[in-house]
Amino acid sequence: MRFGTNRIEYQPLGVVGVISPWNYPVNLSLMPVVTAIAAGNRVMLKPSKFVPATNAVLASMLSELFPPEQVTIVSGDGAAFSSLPFDHLVFTGSTEVGRAVMKAASENLVPVTLELGGKSPTIVAKGHVTDRTVSDIVFGKLLSGGQTCIAPDYALVHESEIDTFIDSYDHLVKTAYPDGPNSRDYTSIINDKQYAILTDLIEDARNHRARIIEVGHRPGEAAHRPHTLAPTVVLGVTDDMRIAHEEIFGPILPIFPYRDIDDAIDYVNARPRPLALYYFGNNDTDRRKVLDRTTSGNVTVNGTIMHVGQDDLPFGGVGASGMGQYHGIEGFRTLSHPKGIYVQGRFNAARLLYAPYSKRTDALLNFFLR
């Protein structure tokens, strides 16, 4: 084969379906749409029914830029949409719904990219409970009221620094939201259904004797604002509580104590693989342990959330937090078909082994196999 040449030509897959969620309805709609178009595909977008005003703006904008046969927005039933014979389907949402989407797509052998969620851990190294660290956790946890798929779901803090962490968290929540739950920068929960899910998680934890601490200024005022939940810390969480297993998707932060870094790593590894993992600490040995011995979609070290904004990093989950990656060149490759092409050279040595076989064939075989 020495005289031949190889190359890969990337081709569009065809029609890409995109199902986007309500929590970041512009970014999580347009990012996969733009990626699909960049790879030469046509796109059908089905955004969440919970954001009709945003959907109207997107529909108007996209109709000005693209003809409907290239990019179109549709509404209706998500299950029916997932059952269409797309050439690829991109879904962003919960793990539970992701299973149903994948099952429906499998009927047509449609490949899927699933961007799901999960319980993304934050490991704070011993001695690293500082205002800078906790401020980053406040930002990541309370951004959009905690309704972020890569929000820190829970924190692992050294057992000797739990009280220090809570005091700092309370102080920095007050700094970030000086008017408490009524601050114009503090986000309410999307609707009554999601609000009820969060309050049920808190009540279940309380009924199992967890310690519930509302933090920040005047947390009680949250009750006077529609489906608003005050920033909340939960201590004493055990495995028989729903909050230990279900993705929170709100401004509630369970805090778990650990004794050493191996203890923290074991806790993370005993649970489904998360979409994101955050580590705060300057000890290179412990950091290396966390990176080597845990598996997550992505990691931010000494910060939260910001890995999603890096245009030269792939973004995606692993295990229960999803499959497939996009953003940057990984997105182009995901939504393209890499067609391998071999061009035979003028001299083809394989012809020496074509039938009919002769003594010359035996001689060649003996030469190569001796």
Q: Which residues of 135-149 are buried (b: 16+ CB within 10 A; e: fewer)?
A: bbbbbbbbbebbbbb
Active-site residue, selected from the candidate residues 115, 159, 203, 247: 115
User: Treating both helix axes as pointing N-terminal to C-terminal, what angle do 284-293 and 261-269 enclose, rounded to 10 degrees?
Assistant: 20
d(Cα 200, Cα 229) in Å, to the nearest integer? 12
115 flagged as catalytic: yes
For residue 66, which amino acid is it?
F
Residues in the chain: 370
**Of these residues, 9, 96, 107, 149, which one is catalytic?**
149
Beta-bridged to residue 157, according to DSSP, are 124, 257
CA torsion sign for 137, 140, 146, 149 is negative
Q: How far apart are CA 144 and CA 248, in angstroms?
A: 13
Decide: residue 73, CB within 10 A, 0-12 exposed, 13-18 middle, 19+ buried: buried
Phi, psi of 339 (to 5 degrees): -85, 115
Any catalytic annotation for residue 246?
A: no
Which residues are registered as beta bridge partners of 73? 45
Angle value at C-alpha 286, between 283 and 292, nearest 5 degrees: 135
Nearby residues of 16 by Cβ (< 8 Å), 6 or more positions away: 32, 36, 41, 42, 43, 44, 86, 87, 88, 89, 90, 335
DSSP-based three-state secondary structure for 18: strand
**Catalytic residue positions, numbered:** 115, 149
